[in-house]
Chain A
Amino acid sequence: MRNNRIRLLTVLAVLILSFWIILKVDNLLLSLVLAFVIYYLLSPLVSYLERKGLSRAISTTVLYGLTLTLMTGLVVWLFPVISNQVNALKLELPRYIEGISALVFSTESRVNEFLNSVYTIDISQELRAKMFSWASVLFEGLPGFAQNFLSVTVLAPFFAFFMLLDGRQASRNLLALVPNNFFEMALHLLHQLGEQMGHFIRARLLEALIVGLVVWGGLALIDFRFAALFALFAALTNLIPYVGPLIGAVPAVALAVLNGSSSVDLFFLLLVYGVAQLVDIVFIIPLVVAKIVNLHPVTVVIVIIIGAQLMGVLGMIISIPVASALKLVLSSIFTHVIDFRR
């Protein structure tokens, strides 16, 4: 029917235009991803307050007030610790770079000695210059990063507030445009996607939080420097599947090697990261994460590579939920449209 075709085209046009705007406008994608994270974290609590008899508007506002107060308190408490550790790291970084260069130089000399002038390797000087330039780019880029981060931290809670308040109405308005012959499928799909994303985001954040806390506690216990900074880094990189935990351990291990830590200290350091991963693999993943995203490990690796190629670190983090959402959309279309015609 003509009417249905016009409706379908309108819905597709709205979706394509929205995606285009999200990808084109600076910081919008990251702000929306964060907004969804906030939405899915707070949504069960808003529903809980509604069950207690408060209206949705009051539930959302009260919860937002409480969360903002809590977050401000957390930032006020955590920011000086992280900031001091970043400053200390900034001051000590040249020493570490010299250390890495010396390590590479000594290895290079030994290899050249072994090769006995057949082939001469000379990378230490180049590497030293490169590392100094990376370090200066990293720290000079920090204010710009902070500025972007600030705009995202303002936009994301703003979006999330209206998602919590009017999100259901907005999705109902979009559903109203869907043609009758696709309506049930679209409604069911939207519900399933919401459920899956909600479970996934809550599970991954819980996982990152537990890993971060275990690393922080462990590093503090063995009296390792920059414990809070490395724990934060481990928690964030843990969001990247498979390679994340390894990346998370690299800076602390590198620091220990450069400081010439004893093998016993190095063992305890590796033990801390090992225990964090053990807790993650044995308890959190089987109990919380595994049942949510039903993707084959090979598919997971492929989508992470694609995500990294397209959007870097953010792409690696969001690749799994995007892939599982795509799988759900395709299987839903298959079940509703193709399978029943057989």
Chain B
Amino acid sequence: MVSALWENIFRRNSTDVVRGTLSRNLLFRELSRGELRFVMDIVHVREYRPGEKVFSQGEVGVGMYIIVKGAVDILVEDLSSPHDGRKKDIHIARLSKDDFFGELSLIEDNGRRNASAVAHEDTQLIGFFKPDLMEILERNPHIGAKVVYRLAEVLGQRLIKTTENIAELRKEIQKLTEKGETV
């Protein structure tokens, strides 16, 4: 009885943590408590050990992950590494609590992951996948529209940032070319 009580309290705490993470996320921020409860019945909470892969580069991606606790390393294959079978990875970023990744897979059709994600420590993630988004749109389009609008906003911001990065890289290349011509 006592252990059941503890288990219940623990589960409630864990549910509160997941709800808190969802309510802070850009995609679900505008949802009411009731709407969040609806989403919580659809998303998937997964646990990862240190070093365990969340997904690998080149794999077909199905959705995004939000970090509830722990940290995740984002790695890409080093294309300049020697072709001796042992591929090296370049560390791109370390994501922590409340960060999210893989959201492009929510709208891509059979798109492949362009980086790998590996748990850095004991990590809890919320998985939100394309079938889940479809289910929300099918069963409650009002919530679905809010989520899709926010998703479009996130992807738009990423696109702007990528365009800015490309512009900066172009400038760098131009500078280097000019330097080379002068020398």
Contact = CB atoms under 8 A, between A and B. Distances in A.
Interface of A: 1, 3, 47, 50-51, 56, 168-169, 172, 175-176, 180-181, 183-185, 187-188, 190-191, 335-336, 340-341
Interface stretch (B24-32, B127-135, B164-172): B127-135
Contacts, number: 58
B134 A191 contact: yes
Given A168-B135, A175-B44, A3 B61 contact: no
A47 B49 contact: no
A1 B49 contact: yes
A56 to B, nearest CB: 8
A76 B63 CA distance: 49
Given A1-B49, A180-B48, A191 B112 contact: no
Nearest to A342: B58
Nearest to A181: B53
B39 interface: no
A340 B58 contact: yes
Given A172-B44, A340-B59, A183 B127 contact: yes
Closest 10 CB pairs of A and B: A191-B131, A340-B58, A184-B62, A188-B62, A50-B139, A340-B59, A47-B138, A47-B139, A335-B60, A336-B60
B51 to A, nearest CB: 9
B59 A188 contact: no
B140 A180 contact: no
B99 interface: no
B30 to A, nearest CB: 19
B56 A340 contact: yes
B141 A51 contact: yes
A202 to B, nearest CB: 15
B163 to A, nearest CB: 29
B95 interface: no
Contact of A3 (B41, B49, B54, B110): B49
Interface of A is mostly: helix
Contacts of B129: 184, 187-188
A60 to B, nearest CB: 12
A187 B134 CA distance: 13
A62 B139 CA distance: 16
A190 B58 CA distance: 21
A50 B131 contact: no
B55 A184 contact: yes
Contacts of B55: 184
B12 interface: no
A1 B52 contact: yes
A340 to B, nearest CB: 4
A316 B26 CA distance: 50
B91 interface: no
Q: Most chain-A Cβ atoms within 10 A of its Cβ — which of B55, B56, B60, B112? A: B60
Contact of A187 (B49, B59, B62): B62
A181 B54 CA distance: 7
A252 B102 CA distance: 60
Interface in B52-97: 52-56, 58-63
Nearest to A46: B139
A175 B62 CA distance: 14
